[in-house]
Structure 1
Amino acid sequence: MKKFFQLALVAVMILAATATATAQKYGYVNADEIIAAHPEMKVAESNLESLQKQLQKKGEAMVQKFQTDYQALEAKAQAGDLTPKQQQEEATKLEVRQKEIAEFERTMIADLQAKRVELLEPIYTSVNEAIEAIAKENDYQFVFSQQTLLYGDESADLTSQVKTKLGL
């Protein structure tokens, strides 16, 4: 009789575990599509592009000035207008400027990345909050990204619901 109760208990536990596993709801979203449709995304991309062009223009001006000064130094050296000591001093100045240009390029890349994070983080946050809200409203235990999904029934696609939640 004791074994019967043990077997019955195990059967009930297996049945409960199976029922729990089948009761879970899964969904997926195309986050890239949602983010691309977000109106703030166009503004962010425009701001990033503007900043990038501004920084590139400044960098190009620095490089152009460097090249002009280098050519002028070469011309003066070939004409014999500079002493060897003056040539060395001018060459040292140009080396410093060349390092400044390289540092500007590194700073430019870091500034662009920081601005990108600053502009896109609120967009990502709002999209994630909308996904979470839809999942909770519809009792989804898991919501996956379509980009990593190998297969998903279209009925589990929550993309349009998330877009509606965001007003897109």
Structure 2
Amino acid sequence: MNKIFKVGSLIAVMCFAVISLQAQKFGYVNSQAILAEMPDVKQAEANLEALQKQLEKKLQDGLTKLQQDYVAIQQKVERGELSPKQQEEEAKKLQDRQTQLQQDEQNMVQQIQKKRADELNPILEKVNKAIADVAKENGFQFIFEQGVLLYFEESQDVSSMVKAKLNM
């Protein structure tokens, strides 16, 4: 009798496990494609490109000026207008300016990275919220990124639902 009870309990547990696995809903989304279509992302990319061009122009202007000053000092040296001490001082000034330009370049990269994060993070949060809302509203326990899946059924693509949630 005890054995029958154990076997019956085991079968019931297995049935519940199979039923609960079948009840889980999985979906996937191609967030890169969604982001590529979003007007907010296009505007953010335009803003970043404008900032990058502005900073690169400023850096290029500084580099051009440095090169011109280097040529001018070289010409003065060739004409004998600078004493060895003045040559040393001018070389030090040029070296300091070059170091400053390198620091400016590093600052430019950091500034662009910060601007990118400032522009894109709210958009990514908006997309993630839309994905979570679609999951809750449609009973999905899991929504995966399409790029990490090795196999998927086209019918499980929830990208269109997320786009609708984002009013796209």
- Structure 1 runs (4+) deviating above 3 angstroms are none
Q: Separation in 1 of the partners of 2:160 and 2:18?
A: 31
Q: Secondary structure at the match of 1:82?
A: coil
Q: Secondary structure at the match of 2:28?
A: strand
Q: Separation in 1 of the partners of 2:77 and 2:29?
A: 66
- The answer for unaligned runs of 5 or more in structure 2 is none
Q: Which residue of 2 aligns with 1:84?
A: 84
Letter in 2 for 1:78: E
Residue deviations 1:5-47, cap 9 Å, x none? Answer: 1111111111111111111100001101111111111110110
Q: Which residue of 2 aligns with 1:130?
A: 130
1:90 Cα shift? 0.4
- The answer for unaligned runs of 5 or more in structure 1 is none
Q: Equivalent residues in 2 for 1:66-77 (5 A)?
A: 66-77=66-77
Q: Separation in 2 of the partners of 1:26 and 1:3?
A: 38
Establish whether residue 113 from structure 1 lines up as the match of residue 106 from structure 2: no
Q: Separation in 1 of the partners of 2:127 and 2:62?
A: 40
Q: Secondary structure at the match of 1:28?
A: strand
1:75 Cα shift? 0.8
Letter in 2 for 1:150: L
Letter in 1 for 2:160: S
- Give the alignment's TM-score, normalised by structure 1: 0.98
- Give the alignment's TM-score, normalised by structure 2: 0.98
1:4 Cα shift? 1.2
1:3 Cα shift? 1.3
Q: Which residue of 1 aligns with 2:150?
A: 150
